A and B are shown apart, each in its own frame.
Chain A
Amino acid sequence: GAVVSQHPSWVICKSGTSVKIECRSLDFQATTMFWYRQFPKQSLMLMATSNEGSKATYEQGVEKDKFLINHASLTLSTLTVTSAHPEDSSFYICSARTGNRKAEQFFGPGTRLTVL
């Protein structure tokens, strides 16, 4: 299957700083990428959907100024958590798919963010 990578896999930062998480599709062109947030023992919560070259579409309740998403190329999307606070600590997962109607989503391994 297709491979999606995330970097970093784990990050600790101080409150008030910004953190950038990268999501890359390694062997296919990702027309669409998704960003999820997951708390322990809970389901994945979709934060936003991004299409290459377009502005991201955020789900209701997700602060777009807080979680900046950029999908600059067909293989790279970034999520920047701006002015992070302890409540932003979570597990962030990206996924990617091609534009084919039947295409499935391929998930990255996730990034654990801890804000002190």
Chain B
Amino acid sequence: AQTVTQSQPEMSVQEAETVTLSCTYDTSESDYYLFWYKQPPSRQMILVIRQEAYKQQNATENRFSVNFQKAAKSFSLKISDSQLGDAAMYFCAYRSAFTSNTGKLIFGQGTTLQVKP
């Protein structure tokens, strides 16, 4: 079975600085997707970034980028130029790419990010 681990329950960053959230996963599959979701105080889940396992290039979305290390099964999220609105709980998630799979997500425990003004 696949597992996702986020070892940092809480992180803090100064506004305008850069922070990296860690995520490791375990799987025996070769084709899968990885995601970072943001859950602000409103509790609406927001997709931040996604990575396809067969793509070597790290995904980037504006100030958000990932460091995907497939061999090490590591998928960290870097937030550059942190803003107050980035304060939220961040979840790393895994999804199998096999069509027999229903597409369910496996979530990590979450990391609460505090942004200090």
**B45 contacts A95, CB within 8 Å?**
yes
The DSSP consensus for interface residues of chain A is strand
**B42 contacts A105, CB within 8 Å?**
no
> Chain B: interface residue count, which band?
20 to 34
Cα distance A114–B35 when bound, in Å?
A: 31
> Are A49 and B102 also in contact (CB < 8 A) when A91-B43, A95-B45 are?
yes
Restricting to B43-89, which residues have a CB under 8 Å from any CB of A?
Answer: 43-45, 47, 50, 89
The DSSP consensus for interface residues of chain B is loop
> Are A101 and B110 also in contact (CB < 8 A) when A32-B103, A109-B44, A110-B43 are?
no
> Chain A: interface residue count, which band?
20 to 34
Q: Which of A41, A43, A57 contacts B107 (CB 8 A)?
A: A43
> Are A43 and B110 also in contact (CB < 8 A) when A107-B44, A109-B43 are?
yes
Give chain B's interface residues, CB within 8 Å of chain A.
33, 35, 42-45, 47, 50, 89, 91, 97, 99, 102-105, 107-110, 112
